[in-house]
Amino acid sequence: MRRLRLLTVGLTFVLTFQIPLYASPAERTTTNPVAPDGHDPWVIQSDGLYHYCYSHRGAIWVNSASRIEEAVQFEGRQVWRPAPGMPYSRELWAPELHRLEGRWYIYVAADDGKNENHRMYVLEAETDDPAGDYTIRGKIADPSDKWAIDGTVMQHAGQLYFIWSGWEGDTNVAQNLYIARMKDPLSIEGPRSLISQPEYDWEQIGKPLVNEGPQVLERDGDVFVIYSASGSWTDNYCLGQLKLVGDDPLDPASWQKKNAPVFGSTATVFSPGHASFVRSPDGTEDWIVYHAAKRRGSGWDRNTRMQRFTWDIEGNPCFGYPVSEGVPISAPSE
């Protein structure tokens, strides 16, 4: 996310994971970055299309295409622009498009020009077209109503949950991950529960401390939350992992955190983070879509990338490491 610029810490994580599958000469290929600019990329699949939801020029846009890389490459259609002078008129961050209970909704962080007033808001589609017009339905918050960004929705055991990044109090000491039960797609019921805070060294690079960008990833009944850690303005932004191991998502003890990042910087790719996850068009492959810094030390000057990931024998996602720019990789299977 865009935040007050702080000093960049020069340490770079060089992670060794499973090597990505590179392309053979006969395959359709793509290269990273798949879009020259971009931040907090959110892509969702529906009815054979990929819908890319993003903020741009003070508004929210949606682009739809039959291929992932095409969805993130083109401008698409403006679906909502806030009226001026409202609490949600400025700094639209990380919008997410969700299909819930037969309707399309967009969840977005916004403020009035003052960062301390950032809160989550929900928009509802006026039609059944994900790229149609939207109407703001209001703020979505738990009773504490503290600073909140990067909200996402988890559907689990017939219940909706809202997960977001927020402050414990009213000052920017650290961003933690919180979860709360949703009454419906427009509102939260009950208090928030803390499920992650920056505790490991790799989560504490850059001040204030950061856990943000939670994304739900599910497979064969297992539920993961993949989140971003350390300052997004540093070269050490990376992805961490929570796994739901208990029955109650609102119980902090139900979440198990990995003690090392699952996706991070290399000698040539810096600050990969804030991902979303989709399947290939034929449904046989899993893909991560994420942003990374354009170069060492470029902070929030970022582009959009994607690559395939796999799973280990215990059912955990294996993201490998970020593929370097210009290296051909096999395009999503069709």
Mean pLDDT of 149-178: 98
CB under 8 Å, gap of 24 or more: what pairs does 311-319 form? 311/219, 311/286, 315/219, 315/220, 315/222, 316/224, 316/241, 316/243, 317/217, 317/219, 317/224, 317/226, 317/241, 317/262, 317/286, 318/17, 318/18, 319/17, 319/239, 319/262, 319/263, 319/288
Write down the pLDDT at residue 27: 83
Mean pLDDT of 271-295: 98
Rounded to the nearest integer, the mean pLDDT of the chain is: 93
Strand pairing partners for 277?
Answer: 288
The 10 Å CB-count burial string (b at 16+, else e) for 66-93 is ebbbebbbeebeebbebeeeebbbbbbb
Catalytic residue among 40, 111, 203, 235: 40
Do the Cβ atoms of 260 and 244 come closer than 8 Å? no
Question: Does residue 86 have a pLDDT over 80?
Answer: yes
Mean pLDDT of 44-49: 96
Q: Which domains does the chain have, with CATH numbers?
A: 29-330 (2.115.10.20)
Q: pLDDT tens across 319-328, in order?
A: 999 999 999 9
57 φ/ψ sector (left φ>0, alpha ψ -120 to 50, else beta) = left
Is 314 among the residues known to form the active site? no
More confident residue, 19 or 215: 215
More confident residue, 9 or 84: 84
Write down the pLDDT at residue 11: 41
Mean pLDDT of 78-83: 99
Write down the pLDDT at residue 74: 80
Write down the pLDDT at residue 83: 98
Q: Which two tokens stand for residue 36?
A: 């020259």
Strand pairing partners for 85?
Answer: none
Q: pLDDT tens across 298-315, in order?
A: 999 999 999 999 999 999
Write down the pLDDT at residue 331: 96
Write down the pLDDT at residue 6: 37
Catalytic residue among 69, 91, 150, 212: 212
Q: Which two tokens stand for residue 93?
A: 């961050």
163 φ/ψ sector (left φ>0, alpha ψ -120 to 50, else beta) = beta
Phi, psi at residue 82, to the nearest 5°? Answer: -70, 145
Q: pLDDT tens across 229-270, in order?
A: 999 999 999 999 999 999 999 999 999 999 999 999 999 999
Write down the pLDDT at residue 3: 43
Do the Cβ atoms of 276 and 265 come closer than 8 Å? no
Amino acid, single-letter form, for residue 291: H
Question: Does residue 1 have a pLDDT over 70?
Answer: no
Is 212 among the residues known to form the active site? yes
Mean pLDDT of 192-217: 98
